[in-house]
Amino acid sequence: MILESLHPLEIKLLQSFRDKEVLASKEIIDKGLMDGSRLDMASNWLIKKGLIEISGEDITSSVSLTETGKDYYENNIPELRILSALHEGKSLTVKDISQTFHLDPLEVSSALGLLKESGVTQIVQGGLIEFKSGGDANRFESLQDIIRFIGEKGIADLNLLSNEQREIIEVHCRKRGKSKGIFRISEKKNRIFSLTESGKTILSALPERGETGKEVSQLTPEMLKEGTWRNITFRKYNISLNPPRISIGKKHPYREFLDFVKYKFVAMGFEEVRGPLIENEFWNMDVLYMPQFHPARDIHDVYLIKEPSHCKEIEKPFGNRVAETHTNGGNTGSKGWRYPFDLKRAKRLILRSQGTTISARTLASKPKIPGKYFSIARCFRYDTVDATHAPDFYQIEGIVLGEEINFKTLLGLLRLLGEEIAMVKEFRFLPAYFPFTEPSVELHGKHPKLGWIELGGAGIFRPEVTIPLGVKEPVIAWGLGLDRMAMVALGINDIRDLFSKDLDFIRTKKTGFKG
Amino acid sequence: MPTIDIKKKDLEKLVGKKLTISRLEDSLTLAKAELKEYNTGTDELKVELSDSNRPDLWSVEGIARQIRGHLAGKPASYPFFATKKKPVRKIKVSRDMKEVRPYIAACAALGLRMNEESLVQMIQSQDKLSDIFGRKRRMVSIGIYELDRIVFPVDYRLAEPEEVSFTPLGMDERMNLKEILERHPKGITYGPVVGAFKKYPVLIDSHRQVLSFPPIINSRETGEVKTGTKNILVEVTGTDLRMVLLAINILSVNLYDRGAGIEHVLISYPYSTDLGNKIITPHSMLEPVKISIKEITKTLGEDMPPREIRKHLESYGHKVSIRKDSLFVHYPPYRDDIMHPVDTIEDVAISKGYGSFKPEMPQRSTLGGLSRIELFSDLIRDFMVGSGFQEIVSNVLGSSEELIEWMGVDEKLIEIENIMSRSYSVVRNRILPFLLKVEASSSKAFYPHRIFEIGEVGVYDPSENLGSKTGLNLGSLISHSEVSFSEIHSYLDLLFYYTGFSYRLEPAEHPIFMSGRCGNIIVEGRPLGLIGEISPVILDRWQISMPCSAFEINLDSLIL
């Protein structure tokens, strides 16, 4: 298993242990078997696989010249250049130096400073530089000697230099942030690798497998064209490694859930319908026989639109019919709510607060009989946004109309929705209250994870709703609350996460529906 | 939906039977009530009532009545409604009440044995009725008094703000009406109900004792009921006669259920009401409703003999007579929710038990299908996903900061008047700001980012009846260090090629996009959207530090 997945570099490194069970990294590099970075990779892999181990480690510090150092190697350090010019009898001013020797002002001022400090030169009137007796220029010569020594070798082991020399080097060493160093010190780890027992086994098995370290990794178009692949051995991969991450296109997990619901409804013979986000109170409430003084119509339950605040008109003949139904029941056989209906109030624009609004509009547009309709509607409620309340949310609701509709088919249909959409097998039907249905029922189901939960509400539309809209047949109205189920399916605890803005979260969320 | 706290023992006493918790939960469905909590230590039940049209159920007496009837199989009887005895007590309404708070109803309850629990429950039902049914006392409010301290007749009239004074409940000093509105906690809370008037309602007895300042507060002298009080006066005032009468009926049957004798009060009006100018309260205003048996069996989908239907209705509180193929239903005087025969039909179903109906499937088949726009939108979603884009679902509501200021545009949005939070105060008119919102919070997600959303937008349009148009838009955005106009253009180009639309880009300048790198998307001569590299000005406002290219098109005008 290990044998088959070895990388060519690993094989190459293992092969070098054939003569010697202990090898230093310096030796491997010096022999030209592998360069430092490849050795690091290959040795780390083999260590992880337990084929070799580190049995010792020492650090070698070596010194080389920086670009500035190389310049000084060729042209001497600034201090010596100034001194030799003075020796030649040239008269130099501070200004001249920088131009004559192509040195930058910082180097010049540092050199003059050091010369003055050593008492070799002095600056007299007019910026003229003159020799001064009694000074000691040895330190500059010693520095130049070291530069020369290293310059000739290219790289020198720091340990081979005297203490005095090391001190000088450290002073002139390139340090972080300072570009003008002369020397560069680099530390190199020399690791001692030794073959482990399993390393020995693998090594002895290598020739039998014919693994030479010359196996090729990539099959190329050229190999295919030229047929050279026939003579090439391809490396076997370690396929248990984690693949790199890639970015792909996919549907949003919440939309996937809603798509699932959508396809189920279509399969059950439901037609999809839509409606406007911005509604008037008429279609959102009045048509649904919610009296204008109903507590759920309070300013604290519905979002009102600022401008325009009212729609232009209520569709005829529905406006008058609904007004009459509220006032005295109209021709619906009802006593009505018995209050003066305010048509202006009906025109008030709001954000749709319930999906049933779309059902009302569907009823008013000559629906098929028998017919089944559903919508997945964004709705808005005046609520503080928290873990259980999103500022806007989806309601799944619809209607079923036809001569066959009665209380028993209402229960049958609800059970079907529970089985197909909520995938629940045990049900309870409880009496409920909705202003627009009578009888009304709540569907509770036994969810495998949540226990008994309310799945939705339904009922037979009151005649006060259907007759003014021109529908004489009984109509089932139902609505399902599936947010909690979607959250469980997607492993989400906060409803706001259904609308997450975090791309990483959306990308990594697993699909909640495997069909 | 009201929630009430009751004691299980008290409920059992009123029902006349001990109930296990699971039996109780079942029984509560008769009242459309749900048990929210049960504290075995204090014996307290928290019950939520769902029927906002049945205020008679918002009390322990009401719930017990519904259960008791079901156990007995017959309606509770409240003979006092039918009494012919002439009332000995009278309330005179003055003419000026008509404009302020025109209606009042009252009854006397005698021989109560008021204990702590019945007092707590009486106050709770008073609160729920005036708060929820009475719309925070605006339409209905209730006062309860120690009967024996009142000298009848009582006047219901208006008084000048400083004309009368009394010691209100909860205070130690006498206050006039103006002071009560200014300083008494109840005056501050409920003052707005009458605050707009120059004079305020008072109840004053014939010894010039002020009983109360309806709907604000009672007097301490007459209006403080304690444990041990035997005889009380209950009064309801309000702006709607039917609601006032319903409230006094509910309160009187509750007291009767606690063992009190109920006596009527005569209300005399100087103006006419729907029931004339002399009304004896409590008042049973109900006439029998005729329902055809066929309508019941058809609606329920269940053939039942008339006698069985009668049995179910009687267990639910109705009195029923059968005549030929119809039922005449006298519904109880504490209910005023029955507007249509369907309301009575639901009572039959609840009384019979929803669980006893066998669910059936409608047999006739119907054709299912998606709307054209939904089908089209699904097609585009598949295309985008196949092109490597991650789908996003955002909220429809946002802030004008996000949609206007940070987008550098000057457009009219659909704004919410009664905003709850600034962050959700306008309806989005395009998708792009929400894609930028994703980018602004996803700099740690590895690049490239390719995202899209198809979703509804609300666009201000004064020519529309509703003042706006709901549209379906596709917004799409790419973000990575080398993103370009041509990259996003390639996707748009393929999208139009694939869906068979011919389009052209018309160079445009738009604040969202970089100058010279933006185009109007024109399909069949109509501008349907924008494409371009997002301007660094916009990216900077959103604090996005990765270049973005994007397009947005309106889908419904593309296919409609």
Question: Across the interface, which of A268, A276, A390 has its CB nearest the CB of B466?
Answer: A276
B370·A266 Cβ contact <8 A: yes
Higher confidence at residue B279 or residue A389? B279
B442·A308 Cβ contact <8 A: no
Cβ atoms within 10 Å, residue A18: 12
Q: Counting Cβ atoms within 10 Å, is residue B400 exposed (0-12), middle (13-18) or buried (19+)?
A: middle
- Report residue B526 as tokens: 């109509």
pLDDT computed for residue A514 by the predictor: 66
Q: Which residues 396-415 of chain A have a CB within 8 Å of chain B?
A: 400, 402, 404-409, 411-415
Band (pLDDT 50/70/90 cuts) for residue A173 is confident
pLDDT computed for residue B535 by the predictor: 97
Q: Which amino acid is at A284?
A: N
Q: Which residues of A touch B449 (CB under 8 A)?
A: 247, 503
Q: Which amino acid is at A273?
A: V
Q: Counting Cβ atoms within 10 Å, is residue A2 exposed (0-12), middle (13-18) or buried (19+)?
A: middle
Element (H, E) at A163: helix A163-171
Owner of token pair 């299908």: B369
Q: Coil, helix or strand for B171?
A: coil
Q: Which residues of B touch A267 (CB under 8 A)?
A: 368
Cα first-last separation, chain B: 43
pLDDT computed for residue A179 by the predictor: 54
Owner of token pair 């020198």: A156
Q: Which residues 336-375 of chain A have a CB within 8 Å of chain B?
A: 336-338, 349, 351, 368, 370-372
pLDDT computed for residue A5 by the predictor: 75
Q: Which long-range contacts (CB under 8 A, 24 or more apart) does B495-498 make?
A: B495/B380, B495/B383, B495/B384, B495/B387, B496/B523, B498/B383
A433·B450 Cβ contact <8 A: no
How many whole angstroms separate alpha carbon A2 and alpha carbon B494?
47
pLDDT in tens, B222-261: 888 888 899 999 999 999 999 999 999 999 999 999 999 9
A154 in B contact zone (CB under 8 Å): no
pLDDT computed for residue B174 by the predictor: 94
- Non-local (6+) Cβ contacts of A166 within 8 A are A158
Q: Counting Cβ atoms within 10 Å, is residue A304 exposed (0-12), middle (13-18) or buried (19+)?
A: middle
Q: Do B292 and B326 touch, CB atoms closer than 8 A?
A: yes
pLDDT computed for residue A177 by the predictor: 46
How many whole angstroms separate alpha carbon A505 and alpha carbon A510?
10
Does residue A210 have a pLDDT over 70?
A: no
pLDDT computed for residue A212 by the predictor: 60
Q: What is the mean pLDDT of residues A260-276?
A: 95
Q: For chains A and B, what is the number of CB pairs under 8 angstroms? A: 280
Does residue A258 have a pLDDT over 70?
A: yes
A272·B52 Cβ contact <8 A: no
Q: How far is B210 from chain A (nearest CA, A)?
A: 32
How many whole angstroms separate alpha carbon B489 and alpha carbon B497?
12
Q: How far is A515 from chain B (nearest CA, A)?
A: 18
Does residue B150 have a pLDDT over 80?
A: yes
C-alpha dist (Å) from residue A65 to A108, B230, B479? 20, 111, 45
pLDDT in tens, A48-61: 888 899 888 888 78
pLDDT computed for residue A515 by the predictor: 54
Q: What region does B35 belong to: left with phi over 0, alpha with psi -120 to 50, or beta?
A: beta
- Report residue A65 as tokens: 């010249």
Q: What is the mean pLDDT of residues B184-195?
A: 93
Does residue B88 have a pLDDT over 90?
A: yes
How many whole angstroms separate alpha carbon A105 and alpha carbon A111?
10
Q: Which residues of A touch B394 (CB under 8 A)?
A: 499, 501
Question: Across the interface, which of A274, A462, A474 has its CB nearest the CB of B340?
Answer: A462
B390·A247 Cβ contact <8 A: yes
Q: What is the mean pLDDT of residues A396-403?
A: 95
Q: What is the mean pLDDT of residues B535-557?
A: 96
Cα first-last separation, chain A: 38
Q: What are phi and psi of B180, to 5 degrees?
A: -60, -45
Does residue A178 have a pLDDT over 60?
A: no
pLDDT computed for residue A436 by the predictor: 96
Does residue A209 have a pLDDT over 80?
A: no
- Report residue B102 as tokens: 């025109």
Lowest mean pLDDT among A61-65, B67-71, B162-166, B415-419: A61-65
pLDDT computed for residue B478 by the predictor: 98
B339·A337 Cβ contact <8 A: yes
Q: What are phi and psi of B274, to 5 degrees?
A: -60, -20
How many whole angstroms separate alpha carbon B543 and alpha carbon B142?
59
pLDDT computed for residue A6 by the predictor: 80
Does residue A168 have a pLDDT over 80?
A: yes
In the predicted model, what is the mean pLDDT of chain A? Answer: 87
Higher confidence at residue A91 or residue B380? B380
A263 in B contact zone (CB under 8 Å): no
pLDDT computed for residue A152 by the predictor: 86
Q: Do A318 and A364 touch, CB atoms closer than 8 A?
A: yes
Cβ atoms within 10 Å, residue B115: 13
Q: How far is A462 from chain B (nearest CA, A)?
A: 7
Evaluated on CA atoms B379, B380, B386, B389, the torsion sign reads negative
Higher confidence at residue A300 or residue B179? B179
Q: Do B532 and B549 touch, CB atoms closer than 8 A?
A: yes
Q: Which residues of A touch B395 (CB under 8 A)?
A: 390-392, 499
**Residue B429's closest CA among B407, B401, B406, B403?**
B403
Q: Which residues of B touch A392 (CB under 8 A)?
A: 395-397, 424
Nearest chain A residue (CA) to B354: A429
In the predicted model, what is the mean pLDDT of chain B? Answer: 95
- Report residue A125 as tokens: 């009137």
pLDDT over 90, % of chain B: 92
- ∠ CA(A124), CA(A127), CA(A131), 5° rounding? 50
Element (H, E) at B106: strand B103-110
Does residue A213 have a pLDDT over 70?
A: no
Regarding an ipTM greater than 0.85, the answer is yes
pLDDT computed for residue B300 by the predictor: 97
